[in-house]
């Protein structure tokens, strides 16, 4: 059944995948963006290029501010599925969307989650502050009785692979290993997380539940991924270990957020292994079990993609 899908944060890193997945599945797709005139967007601006690409695909572009309550209510009354892919600095802006939803009868809201289980993970303070914001959004959704699905993407594999192998100017020679490198994590391609999200948003089985993306074949340690990368690139990398005590020093209150937040995220994932260590509850679902017909991208396939197209990433804006 064709639905009307509205995406907030549509031009952002993960939002673009959500829009493309919705279009690919034949849904009428809307992208809510701040007025381009206020952003000072030029003809060569990547944001404008993304929006023009969306238009060419038939996406309806809605320009507006999140503070414009009446406009939010108006557009929300026209759609059925709402997906938020707002980035870290705008997590709490979702409360404005939730307030507007109280006056609209939407079928499902997918808030900006897509990482680890906010209610059960206990992270270092810089990262925990972000998780606490996610929990505030969850509680507001539930208090307003808005139909929802929480999507846990675990780690966005393309993003983290690029961060690990390309963020350093000496990336062709060395790689940083966090902890002992043996902690198992789930590596999910962003395209797959978006596809699972769109499917789950239409699925009665996922109503008011959590869906975690944990395909068994995509569970691997950092060392596993580094070894596979070395084989594919035919290059041996010098492995520089950053032990837990080294990471902890970079997450203190005296450190700037652009350092402390990424380090606390890396600590949660690659040292503590929190995203995978938390077992799913009975009422929580696993995406690859729900949608057996969907062929998700394996780690091997993803590494092939990343060796060809290595973009620049900034971890502090991801989770």
CA dist 258 and 108 (Å) reads: 34
With vertex at residue 202, the alpha carbon angle to CA 78 and CA 278, rounded to the nearest 5 degrees, is: 125
The greatest distance separating any two alpha carbons of the chain, rounded to the nearest whole angstrom, comes to 58
With vertex at residue 189, the alpha carbon angle to CA 188 and CA 191, rounded to the nearest 5 degrees, is: 130
Find all residues with CB under 8 Å of 196, minimum gap 6, and list them: 151, 211, 213, 287, 290, 291, 294
Catalytic residue among 134, 135, 209, 295: 134
Kind and range of the H or E element at 84?
strand 81-84
DSSP secondary structure letter of residue 54: H
Is residue 134 among the annotated active site residues? yes
Asked if 210 and 316 touch (Cβ cutoff 8 Å), the reply is no
* Residues facing 221 on adjacent strands: 184
C-alpha distances out from residue 304 to 225, 233, 296, Å: 12, 10, 14
With vertex at residue 291, the alpha carbon angle to CA 108 and CA 154, rounded to the nearest 5 degrees, is: 70
Kind and range of the H or E element at 79?
none
Q: Is 242 helix (H, G, I), strand (E, B) or coil?
A: strand
Residues belonging to the active site: 134
């Amino acid at each position: 059944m064709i639905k009307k899908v509205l995406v907030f944060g549509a031009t952002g890193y993960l939002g673009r995948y959500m829009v493309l997945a919705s279009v690919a599945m034949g849904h009428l797709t809307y992208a809510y963006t701040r007025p381009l005139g206020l952003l000072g967007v030029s003809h060569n601006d990547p944001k404008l290029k993304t929006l023009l690409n969306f238009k060419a695909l038939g996406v309806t572009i809605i320009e507006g501010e999140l503070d414009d309550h009446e406009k939010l209510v108006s557009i929300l009354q026209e759609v059925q599925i709402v997906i938020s892919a707002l980035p870290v600095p705008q997590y709490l802006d979702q409360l404005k969307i939730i307030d507007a939803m109280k006056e609209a009868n939407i079928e499902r809201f997918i808030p900006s989650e897509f990482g680890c289980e906010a209610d059960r993970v206990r992270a270092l303070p810089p990262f925990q502050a972000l998780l606490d914001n996610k929990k505030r959004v969850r509680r507001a959704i539930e208090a307003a009785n808005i139909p929802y699905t929480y999507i846990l993407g675990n780690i966005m594999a393309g993003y983290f692979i690029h961060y690990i192998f390309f963020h350093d100017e000496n990336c062709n020679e060395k790689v940083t290993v966090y902890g002992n490198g043996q902690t198992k994590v789930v590596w999910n391609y962003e395209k797959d997380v978006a596809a699972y999200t769109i499917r789950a948003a239409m699925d009665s089985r996922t109503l008011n539940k959590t869906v975690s993306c944990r395909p068994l074949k995509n569970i691997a340690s950092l060392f596993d991924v580094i070894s596979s990368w070395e084989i594919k690139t035919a290059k041996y990398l010098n492995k520089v270990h950053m032990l837990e005590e080294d990471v902890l020093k970079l997450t203190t209150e005296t450190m700037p957020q652009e350092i402390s937040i990424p380090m606390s995220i890396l600590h949660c994932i690659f040292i503590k292994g929190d995203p995978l260590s938390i077992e799913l509850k009975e009422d929580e679902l696993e995406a690859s079990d729900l949608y057996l017909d969907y062929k998700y991208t394996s780690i091997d396939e993803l590494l092939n993609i990343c060796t060809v197209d290595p973009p620049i990433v900034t971890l502090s804006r991801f989770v």
